[in-house]
Structure 1
Amino acid sequence: MSESGDSQEAFGEAFGRTTDPLSAFEPVFEELRADPLEFFIEEDLLNSGLKEGTIAGHLVTYQQWREYMSEVGRHPACPSEEHVQGFARWLQEDLGNQSVVTIRQKLQKLNRAYRFWQEEPTLPHTLEYDIVRSARNKIDWSEFEDTETKRPHPIPIEAIRERISEITDLLDYTCVLLQLKLGLRVGEVRNVRFRDLNIPDEELAAVYPALGTHELVTDRPDILYIPSKTERDGNKSTVGRLLPIDEEVRRILVRYLLIRPSVDDEHLPISQRHDRPSGRHINNVWQDAFLPEYGETNEYRAVSSHFGRHYFTTYWKKEQGLQSELVQYMRGDRVGDPVSDGSAMHHYLHTYYRDIEDRYRKDIYQLVPKEPWSVV
């Protein structure tokens, strides 16, 4: 811990204070049917006299704040300074087209809501500590300057097909394909275990008896379960999700599993060196395939392993116009009411998986050549 961090901890212990004071109120907010953001919008924003376009800009910011806080698993009315700073980075890194000026403006819009909560006597946000303003003042904006206007390369799908077809290692190809086709993070790919994946195949079942034994996938063919961050260390999604395995992903997974090294390890991805590929290795695979053509420029940031998740999200949101809550489900973001117990989780997963399965299988983009190619 830094010297300033030591001092902060010492002050907190001495005066009975915490750097995350609103965390204590989150369970209460989660139980309430009332929405503090909607309360602010109705009571303050819509009565502010601002122009319609300005109000619309505020509403976009608040929707993005909801989405980000859903991803990190925190109620939007209960941020810490870390959440506010993370939101600033998320606006730039995940949305990809946010300049420093735009990010500062959005934090000001967020602070407007927070100040309203501070002045509302029925809410627990005290006037003595403005978390949003404090967090904004602590951000090192110089870290944002090099990429402040940069967004991901708009790579045509034909170019994506061509680039990944040049990946000659089958495990590397499988990892990249899972990220592109399912929007998975690197850690989630590395964390896939045999029981999470149900691919009906007699030959595979004989080699991998644990395949498809998780209770959520047992009765569903061609499906993958991605556990939440609370279920499995290394995953970052707020909630678990079930995702369809289409024909081309199934074909590659079967092909990989038949040549996977015989190692006593429950994780699916194992290299010929008998270990799991590291996150850095998978990122290098992406960069070897797409750089230098899709490297960093004055307008775009370099392709990395995050590109697959970005492409997947953009495709479903913008090209397919899928409902936001269904895109959030496929990404592993929190949607609807929080899951309180196992039975509720099963109902939740069933509901959203049922809603996306047919659409996914019908409309997901195709990336794999039908005929065998050079991957070994």
Structure 2
Amino acid sequence: MSNSKSQSESESESDSIGYFLEDIEYHGRNERTVAAYRRVLRSFESFLEERFGKTPVEAEYRDCMAFVHDLRSNYTDSTVASYASYLNRYYGYLVRVGQHDENPMELVLEEMNESIESNPSRRDISLAEMRTFVETIRHPLHKAIVMTFLKTGIRSGELCNLDLIDLNLGHDGQSWHPRAQIAEKPDTLYISAEHSYGAESGGTVRRASNKRKRETTIPVDDELRRVLLRWLAIRPNVRSPSEPLFTSTADAWGRRITIDTIHHIVEQYAREYGWLRTGGGAAENVTPHYFRHFFTTHLRDRTGDRGVVKYLRGDVASDIIDTYTHNWNDRVRETYLEHIYSITDVESN
């Protein structure tokens, strides 16, 4: 590390930000880049102290989001994105050295990339076009995966982590007992907040993480219910204590589906349909991540209720989550079932 720093500067960096700057310099970042990181992180540090009386180590998602919002009033979108990436790397470092339990910038970046507002940078697919696309999918597993994405807006990792007990279809032929949280709520899907990559939960080591801070219960409408029942009729028997909802029907017969497999399935259909090409970016290609954007955009426009959509997406907002969780039948479920779009049954839409 350079010895040209003044004593006062060295002392001012004898903290988490200082150690992080040393780390990136040791890993080959040039002086100009380190200076840019220093400027942004020190600005963030001052913002937190003045606005919330917190240090960067104490900051949470809402604090980071507030800083990004403040940046937007002074900088272009591309500059804000760059500065947000600086914070993301900094918090990744804090997690790595054990100074922070999790990276609060991960969700901030996700929200920036999946803005609840209309995102003109993404391919604009109408409901009619999506219906035609889904008609090309015949395999019961593949259709169940795509329809679950389109009807719930969940992430790929969350879909992989679904177990049978996370689904209550209230069906006479249902051979499993749903978990307690949804045992009295037929036609409901439960998204856990517990599953983390590499950790054991539900009797199995998870290979994907659920990025939700709170559990979420999502209604299952008649259309998704039919698709899931069709899949369950052919679903391979498995000997896993966790009984995954979605399992492979190819090489890894009967094993829990993986994120890689999901991406392969979706991208195969998207490529054949002309919605994906090698080298195409998020503005052009349709991937599993796109379905979450589609769900957000179309359901928000139909309901006019951002709160319900944010709840279903699993976005972190304690006041929204608490209000809607305790008011399930009166607000979320009724709003969802009244406004959710139809994909395979046009007449009922």
Aligned residue number for residue 182 of structure 1? 152
Aligned residue number for residue 333 of structure 1? 315
Paired residue type of 2:172: E
Residue 359, structure 1, aligned to residue 335, structure 2: yes
Aligned residue number for residue 119 of structure 1? none
Shift of 1:295: 2.8
RMSD: 4.5
Quick one: distance in 2 between partners of 1:348 and 1:86? 21
Correspondences of 1:20-169 after superposition (within 5 Å) = 21-24=55-58, 83=104, 87=108, 90-91=111-112, 93-95=113-115, 151-169=121-139
Higher relative contact order (CA 8 A, sep 6+): 1
Aligned length: 263
Say if 1:15 and 1:333 are closer, same or farther in 2 by CA, change over 3 A.
same
Kept in 2: contact 1:294–1:303 (CA 8 A):
yes
Give deviations 1:86-112, integer Å, cap 9, x for gaps. 745753x323999xxxxxxxxxxxxxx
Give deviations 1:39-77, integer Å, cap 9, x for gaps. x99xxx9xxxxxxxx79x99xx9xxx9xxx9xx9xxxxx
Quick one: distance in 2 between partners of 1:259 and 1:154? 34
Paired residue type of 1:315: H
Quick one: distance in 2 between partners of 1:170 and 1:217? 25
Quick one: distance in 1 between partners of 2:114 and 2:336? 22
Kept in 1: contact 2:219–2:337 (CA 8 A):
yes
2:291 to 287, 295, 308: 308
Say if 1:157 and 1:215 are closer, same or farther in 2 by CA, change over 3 A.
same
Give deviations 1:292-340, integer Å, cap 9, x for gaps. 6223669932111111110011112234311x2221111011223498x
Say if 1:89 and 1:230 are closer, same or farther in 2 by CA, change over 3 A.
closer
The secondary structure found in structure 1 opposite 2:318 is coil
Kept in 2: contact 1:176–1:282 (CA 8 A):
no
Question: What is the percent sequence identity of the aligned residues?
Answer: 24
Aligned residue number for residue 25 of structure 2? none
Residue 216, structure 1, aligned to residue 181, structure 2: yes
Paired residue type of 2:189: L
Residue 262, structure 1, aligned to residue 237, structure 2: yes
Aligned residue number for residue 48 of structure 1? none
Quick one: distance in 1 between partners of 2:254 and 2:319? 42
Give deviations 1:226-278, integer Å, cap 9, x for gaps. 11156865211221111101001111111111211111231111122111222
Shift of 1:289: 1.8
Residue 248, structure 1, aligned to residue 223, structure 2: yes
The secondary structure found in structure 1 opposite 2:326 is helix
Give deviations 1:163-204, integer Å, cap 9, x for gaps. 122123211110111000000111111111111111112222
Residue 317, structure 1, aligned to residue 317, structure 2: no
Aligned residue number for residue 268 of structure 2? 288
Quick one: distance in 2 between partners of 1:24 and 1:298? 35
Kept in 2: contact 1:179–1:309 (CA 8 A):
yes
Kept in 2: contact 1:177–1:249 (CA 8 A):
yes
TM-score (norm 1): 0.58
Aligned residue number for residue 193 of structure 2? 228
